[in-house]
Structure 1
Amino acid sequence: MKNIKLTIEYDGKRYLGWQRLGDSDKTIQGKIEGVLTQMTGESIEIIGSGRTDTGTHARGQVANFKTNAKMTPDEMRDFLNRHLPRDIVVKKAEEAAARFHARYNAVGKQYSYYIWNETVPSVFARNYSYHYPQKLDIAKMDEACQKLTGTHNFSGFSALRKTKKSTVRTLDKLSIQKEGGMLHLTFAGDGFLHKMVRIITGTLLEIGAGELELAVIDEIFASNVRKYAGDTAPSHGLFLDEVFYH
Structure 2
Amino acid sequence: MSRGRRIRLVLGYDGSGFHGFARQEGLRTVQGVLEDVLLRMLGTEIPVEGSGRTDRGVHARAQVVHFDLPYGPPVERMVHVLRRRLPADILPRAADEVDEAFHARFSVVRKTYRYTLDLAPLPSLYWYKFSWHVPEPLDLDAMKEAAKHLLGEHDFTSFCAAEAPQRDKVRRLDRVDFRRDGSRLHVEFEGNGFLQYMVRILVGTLVKVGRGKESPDRIPDILEARDRRLAGETAPPHGLCLWNVEYPSAYGGKVIDLSDDL
For 2:78, which of 68, 76, 79 is the aligned residue?
76
Aligned to 2:258: none
Per the alignment, residue 187 of structure 1 pairs with: 189
What is the distance in 1 between the residues matched to 2:234 and 2:86? Answer: 31
| Alpha carbons 1:108, 1:188 under 8 Å: kept | yes
2:13 aligns with 10
Correspondence for 2:171 among 165, 169, 172: 169
- What displacement does 1:165 show? 2.8
Q: Which residue matches 2:221? A: 219
Aligned 1:47-66 pairs, distance under 5 A: 47-66=49-68
Task: For residue 201 of structure 1, report the CA deviation from its aligned partner.
Answer: 0.2
In percent, how many aligned pairs have the same letter?
40
Normalised TM-score (structure 1): 0.96
Distance 2:204 2:85 in 1: 37
Task: Look up the match of 1:133.
Answer: 135
**Structure 2 alignment gaps of length 5 or more:** 249-262
Task: Kindly report the root-mean-square deviation, in angstroms, between the aligned alpha carbons of the 2 structures.
Answer: 1.3
Contact 1:152 1:169 (8 Å CA) reproduced = yes
Q: Which amino acid in 1 is paired with 2:26?
A: D
In structure 2, what is the equivalent of residue 232 of structure 1? 234
Structure 1 segments, 4+ long, off by >4 Å, are none
Match in the other structure for 1:198: 200
Match of 2:120 among 101, 118, 122: 118
Query: 1:121 deviation in Å?
Result: 1.6
Unaligned runs of 5+ residues in structure 1 are: none
User: Does the CA contact (< 8 Å) of 2:164 and 2:196 recur in 1?
Assistant: no
CA contact (8 A) 1:39 1:79 kept: no
CA distance in 1, matches of 2:237, 2:164: 23
**Count of aligned pairs between the two proteins:** 245
> C-alpha deviations, 1:203-224, integer Å up to 9, x for none?
0001000112223312211110
**Alignment equivalent of 1:86, drawn from 62, 81, 88:** 88
Residue 163 to residue 98, structure 1, CA distance change in 2 (3 Å): closer
Say if 1:51 and 1:68 are closer, same or farther in 2 by CA, change over 3 A. same
Assess, with a 3 A threshold, how the Cα gap between structure 1 residues 88 and 162 changes in structure 2: closer, same or farther: closer
Per-residue deviation, 1:164: 6.6
SS in 2 for 1:106: coil
The TM-score normalised by the length of structure 2 is: 0.90
Residue-by-residue CA offset, 1:119-176 (whole Å, 9 max, x unaligned): 2221111111100011110000010011111111111100043767321111000011
Equivalent residue letter for 1:236: H
Contact 1:42 1:67 in 2 (8 A): no
What CA distance in whole angstroms lies between the structure 2 residues aligned with 1:66 and 1:39? 14
Partner secondary structure for residue 17 of structure 1: coil
Return the offset for 1:29: 0.4
- SS of 2:52's partner is coil
SS at structure 1 position matched to 2:168: coil
1:46 is matched with: 48
Tell me which amino acid in the other structure corresponds to 2:183.
G
- Counterpart AA for 1:211: K
Give the AA of the match of 1:208: G
Q: Which amino acid aligns with 1:127?
A: K
